[in-house]
């Protein structure tokens, strides 16, 4: 019997080991040290940029075991802001995000891999406009360390490109505007 | 009050002056035009030549209709409207009065909410290329909901209610003309006739 307990404890310890050593970070949305931006070509002649103002998220990061890192982000789709009320209203409507039907967009990571030169590759499932798809985000480790107010912070930046059609958004913006570039700059405060 | 002899610009107890008639039918034209244009332009393809032109005309005419409606309201309140026909029952008079008041109120609500959509980000509204209306009025959204969204819902639903009331208004006019065979509709159509009398009334 003792043997079974001992084995169980060892197995549990192994299973939860990566979790117990990873540092958990809460995205600093309160202090607005996090940004989720998008950019899309207008007619193929210029870049239009905008952002989502309301979102929340957390991530875990363990320097000894980076591949156990996890990231989850929830975005309030109605908070889209392209600096033009009429356009934002159109973007929230049925032609694009349909926010009354799909008020949230979520990203849940499935894998994390550190690469050379402070880069990393983050994969996960993005749910947008009711469609869930695996996406790959190119990540930059921007920096980490103590902040001046007694806390510890870590920042990540990421970019990815989405085909609007993949997420069921097929309003015709022209041949040059079928893809949108998403970029994230998130700073987490260690809990 | 201005009264010009033999020029019925003003309302008389028996008929509407031509100014009131002109403003009434201009409003009717604007209301139908704006509703149709609004419905059509919001479904346009991005590459349609009307994608920018449609809203520009819609907003310009909307602002002009606001000015016209304020002028009409001022005239309606300060000058006397013709007396109701004696054949109008008191229930009909009350129903007509309520409908007219609601029509005015809805037109004002629709234009103000439209203004609040376009000015939500501080941009002004260009009325053709003549002048601009600045974004001076704002409303506070409920729990972070954007002004353009609240105003947009108000704009759409009040426009639908207005079209329903317009239908009622038209049905009432037709009922007077066809069923009651009185001059209610005719006196909104023929301002110059000093006294509109229908053949049926002469019999």
Of B46, B47, B148, the CB nearest to A85: B148
Confidence of residue A14 (pLDDT cuts 50, 70, 90): low
Q: Is B171 inside a domain boundary?
A: yes
pLDDT at residue B48 above 90?
Answer: yes
Average of pLDDT values for B13-32?
A: 91
Shortest CA gap B103–chain A (Å): 27
Q: How far is residue B197's CA from residue B186's CA, in Å, rounded to a whole number?
A: 9
Q: Minimal Cα distance from A175: which residue of B?
A: B47
Instruction: Judge if ipTM > 0.85.
Output: no
Range of the domain at A77: 22-190
Residue A86: which of B46, B117, B145 has the nearest Cβ? B117
Answer yes or no: are the C-beta atoms of A75 and A53 closer than 8 Å.
no
User: Is B13 inside any structural domain?
Assistant: no
Find which of A52, A83, A86, A100 to mutate to test the B interface (most B CBs within 10 Å of its CB): A86
Question: What CATH number is associated with residue A50?
Answer: 2.40.128.110
Per-residue model confidence as pLDDT tens digits over A40-84: 999 999 999 999 999 999 999 998 999 999 999 999 999 999 999
Of B80-94, B96-110, B167-181, where does mean pLDDT reach its minimum? Answer: B80-94
Looking at residue B125, its pLDDT comes to: 95
| B140 confidence band (pLDDT: 50, 70, 90) | confident
Band of the pLDDT at B139, cuts 50, 70, 90?
confident
For residue range A136-183, what is the model confidence (pLDDT) as tens digits?
999 999 999 999 999 999 999 999 999 999 999 999 999 999 999 999
Phi, psi of B87 (to 5 degrees): -75, -15
Provide the residue range defining the domain that includes B158. 18-196
> What does the pLDDT read at residue A19?
52
The number of domains in chain A is 1
Q: What is the DSSP letter of B175?
A: I
Within 13 Å, how many C-alpha atoms sit on residue A64's CB side? 7
Q: Which helix (H) or strand (E) holds B3?
A: none
The verdict on residue B109 lying in a domain is yes
Percent of chain B with pLDDT over 70: 88
Mean pLDDT of all residues in A89-108: 96
Per-residue pLDDT tens digits for B147-176:
999 999 999 999 999 999 999 999 999 999
| B83 domain-assigned | yes
Interface of B with A (CB under 8 A): 45-47, 55, 117-121, 123, 144-149, 152
Give the model's pLDDT for residue B196.
53
Residue A51 bridge partners (DSSP) = A37, A81
The region of weakest confidence among A147-151, B17-21, B105-109, B153-157 is B17-21
Residues 77-106, chain A: which have Cβ within 8 Å of B?
78-79, 83-86, 88-89, 92
Sign of CA dihedral B38, B39, B43, B48: negative
Count of structural domains, chain B: 1
Pairwise CB contact (< 8 Å): A89 & B118: no
Query: Would you state the pLDDT for residue B12?
Result: 78
Q: Within a domain: residue A4?
A: no
**B185 φψ region: left (φ > 0), alpha (ψ -120 to 50), beta (else):** alpha
Higher pLDDT, B157 or A15: B157
Domain with residue B134: its CATH number is: 1.20.950
**A172/B149 Cβ within 8 A:** no
CB A75 within 8 A of CB A104: yes
* DSSP output for B39-71: HHHTT--TT-THHHHHHHHHHHHHHHHHHHHHH
**For position B191, what pLDDT does the model report?**
62
C-beta atoms of A89 and B144 within 8 A? no
Q: What are phi and psi of A187, to 5 degrees?
A: -115, 125
Judge whether A183 lies within some domain.
Answer: yes
Task: Between B187 and A142, name the one with better pLDDT.
Answer: A142
Distance CA B147, CA A89 (A): 10
pLDDT of res. A181:
97
With CA atoms as reference, the chain B residue closest to A177 would be B46
Domain membership of residue B201 (yes or no) is: no
Residue B7 parent element (H or E)? none
- Tell me how far apart the alpha carbons of residues A80 and A36 are, in angstroms, rounded to a whole number: 10
- Tell me which residue of A59, A53, A85, A32 sits closest to A139, measured CA to CA: A59
CA dist A156 and A176 (Å) reads 29
CA distances from B80 to B13, B21, B74, B83, B92 (A): 8, 14, 11, 8, 19
């Amino acid at each position: 019997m003792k043997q079974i307990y001992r084995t169980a404890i060892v197995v549990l310890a192994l299973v939860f080991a990566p979790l117990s050593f990873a540092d958990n970070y809460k995205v600093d949305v309160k202090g607005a040290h996090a940004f989720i931006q998008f950019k899309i070509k207008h007619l193929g002649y210029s870049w239009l940029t905008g952002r989502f103002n309301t979102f929340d998220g957390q991530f875990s990061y363990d320097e000894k075991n980076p591949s156990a890192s996890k990231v989850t982000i929830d975005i309030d789709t109605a908070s889209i802001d392209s600096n033009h009320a009429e356009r934002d209203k159109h973007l929230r409507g049925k032609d694009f995000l349909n926010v009354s039907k799909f008020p949230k967009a979520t990203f849940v990571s499935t894998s994390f891999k550190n690469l050379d030169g402070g880069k990393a590759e983050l994969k996960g499932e993005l749910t947008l406009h009711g469609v869930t798809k695996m996406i790959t985000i190119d990540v930059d480790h921007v920096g980490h360390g103590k902040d001046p107010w007694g806390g510890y912070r870590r920042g990540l930046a990421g970019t990815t490109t989405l085909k609007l059609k993949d997420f069921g958004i097929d309003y015709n913006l022209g041949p040059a505007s079928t893809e949108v570039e998403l970029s994230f700059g998130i700073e987490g405060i260690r809990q | 009050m201005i009264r010009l002899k033999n020029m019925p610009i003003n309302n008389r107890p028996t008929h509407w002056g031509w100014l009131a008639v002109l403003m009434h039918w201009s409003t009717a034209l604007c209301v139908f035009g704006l509703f149709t244009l609004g419905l059509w332009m919001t479904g346009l393809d991005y590459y349609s030549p009307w994608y920018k032109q449609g809203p520009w005309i819609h907003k310009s005419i909307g602002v002009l209709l606001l000015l016209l409606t304020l002028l009409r309201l001022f005239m309606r309140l300060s000058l006397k409207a013709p007396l109701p026909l004696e054949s109008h029952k008191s229930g009909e008079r009350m129903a007509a009065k309520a409908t007219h008041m609601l029509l005015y109120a809805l037109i004002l609500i629709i234009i103000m909410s439209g203004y609040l959509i376009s000015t939500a980000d501080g941009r002004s509204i260009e009325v053709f290329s003549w002048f601009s209306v600045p974004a001076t009025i704002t409303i506070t959204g409920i729990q972070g909901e954007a002004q353009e969204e609240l105003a947009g819902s108000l704009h759409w639903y009040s426009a639908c209610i207005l079209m329903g009331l317009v239908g009622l208004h038209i049905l009432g006019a037709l009922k007077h003309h066809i069923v009651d065979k009185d001059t209610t509709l005719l006196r909104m159509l023929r301002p110059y006739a000093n006294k509109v009398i229908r053949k049926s009334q002469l019999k």
